[in-house]
Structure 1
Amino acid sequence: MKLILPSTLVYLSQLKDNNNREWFAINKSTFDKEQKNIKLFFKLIKEDLETVDNIEKMQVFRIYRDVRFSKDKTPYKSHFSAGFVRQKPQLRGGYYLHIEENNSFVGGGFWEPNKEDLLRIRKELSIDASELREIIGQKEFKNYFGTLQGEELKTAPRDFDKNHPDIDLIRKKQFLVTRQFTNEEVLSPNFANEIIARFKAMRPFFDYMSDVLSTDLNGISLY
């Protein structure tokens, strides 16, 4: 059944308020049940997504936090999440689904592109950003995501003109889209369809980036 259960949000809220190993151990059976339910939901989302894109793999992220280098030493995440990776190397970009009380969202894009990919994107945008502008200017894209998000430099990257008309795109270090959902939306019978609709709306952006990152500046395929 493609539904998020109310008990899932209840459990995550309780975990957030009781984020310690003792409470988690006492309520381990509840965690096991909710994790089983959410993994099934994620699996069904992957199957739906595979009808509209080529997905290489799904990764369900663990509930346990890596606290080795963090000031926040709470041991558990207060959300369930999964990523869906497109078929590489030709297809780039990945879809992300995050379920958390009052903070559920879908997202996707390029979180930490390596320096070679980032330079390739910037060079492409410096030559012609009109195709990306058209994609992110589409009514559906703007209604779902607003605009491109992500960290950016305060000024132009090295060897790029700070007065370039597309410098707002060129100085980006990340290229991300997100869409928040209320608890009511998450628990609605139509939630799975809403997720897939948002993922489908991301695909033209992903396909553009894939074309850029799988070719050289002359448009010759690298694969």
Structure 2
Amino acid sequence: MDFERLFDFLETLNANNSKEWMDENRKEYESVKADYVKWLEDLDLKLSKIDEKYYSSSGKKAINRINNNLLYHPNKPTYKDHFGAGLDKRPKTGDFYIHLGIEEVFVAGGFYKPKPELLKSIREAIDYNGDEFKAIITSETFQEHFGGLMKDDDKLKTSPKGFSQDHKHIDLLRLKSFAAMKPFDRKDVLSSDFKDKVIETYTAMLPFRRYLNKAVTV
């Protein structure tokens, strides 16, 4: 995979962000996208050998649309400045997300601002066995890779409905997002072992994602 070409395309697209330009350069976009889809499919295959419960999907299903949703965000540019892809995305669970952008490169997973019913399920799981979740996110491996949970600026200032203010895990119950992220830089992506680094990150995040996915499906 020629990631240098991918970044070059994104930078040029960002400087000429219009449907007219994309129409004129559609062939290049499709070629870059096809290479990335192939890379994702190889990664998908490798991850399926690590996790027996892995939910495999094609690269075409994994990759996100590059168009912004202008219906809900009319002030955004026509096209995104990144390629996003979600792997191991069993229906109604959190995926393993890869973000390759001109401003940000990161791998993330979990639930970022989930719907109320999912958030309720996660809180109920923490109420039931929060010690297990706490042990996961404070483990040496998790801290080394992610430094803890992603910062949640939208968290509650009081206890959520149905939970005591003096609950032993009130700090977790107040959260509205349960996500972890590992940042990379472009040099990482262009290195020959980038896929290995992504696989290592997937493995480090697996107990965290398994806990949350079990919370919303059981």
Scaled to the shorter chain, the TM-score interval is: 0.7 to 0.9
In structure 1, the residue matched to 2:160 is 157
Q: What is the distance in 2 between the residues matched to 1:55 and 1:40?
A: 17
Give the superposition deviation at 1:86: 4.2
CA distance in 1, matches of 2:70, 2:217: 36
User: Residue 72 of structure 2 aligns to which amino acid in structure 1?
Assistant: F
Residue 81 (structure 1) aligned with residue 89 (structure 2): no
Structure 1: which amino acid aligns with 2:138? G
The aligned runs of 1:6-155 (5 Å cut-off) are 6-53=4-51, 54-57=54-57, 58-87=61-90, 92-149=93-150, 150=152, 151-155=154-158
**Larger deviation: 186-195 or 35-44?**
35-44
Query: 1:21-58 deviations in whole A, cap 9, x for unaligned?
Result: 22222222221221111111111111111112211434
Moved over 4 A (4+): 86-89
* Structural RMSD (CA): 2.0
1:168 maps to which of 171, 180, 185: 171
Q: Is the 8 A contact 1:4 1:41 kept in 2?
A: no
Amino acid at match of 1:188: S
Please state how far the C-alpha of 1:214 moved relative to its aligned partner: 4.1
Instruction: State the alpha-carbon separation in 2 of the partners of residues 26 and 86 from structure 1.
Output: 33
- Residue 193 (structure 2) aligned to one of 190, 195, 205: 190
Name the count of aligned residue pairs: 211
Flag the 1:74–1:184 CA change in 2: closer, same or farther, 3 A. Answer: same
Distance of 2:76 and 2:40 partners within structure 1? 28
User: TM-score, with normalisation over the residues of structure 2?
Assistant: 0.87
- Structure 1 regions of 5+ residues with no counterpart? 216-223
Structure 2 stretches lacking a partner, 5+ long: none
Q: Distance in 1 between matches of 2:64 and 2:30?
A: 14
Alignment check: 8 A CA contact 2:48 2:56 kept? no
TM-score, normalised via structure 1 length:
0.86
Query: Highest relative contact order (Cα 8 Å, sep 6+), 1 or 2?
Result: 1
- Give, in angstroms, the shift of residue 205 of structure 1: 1.0
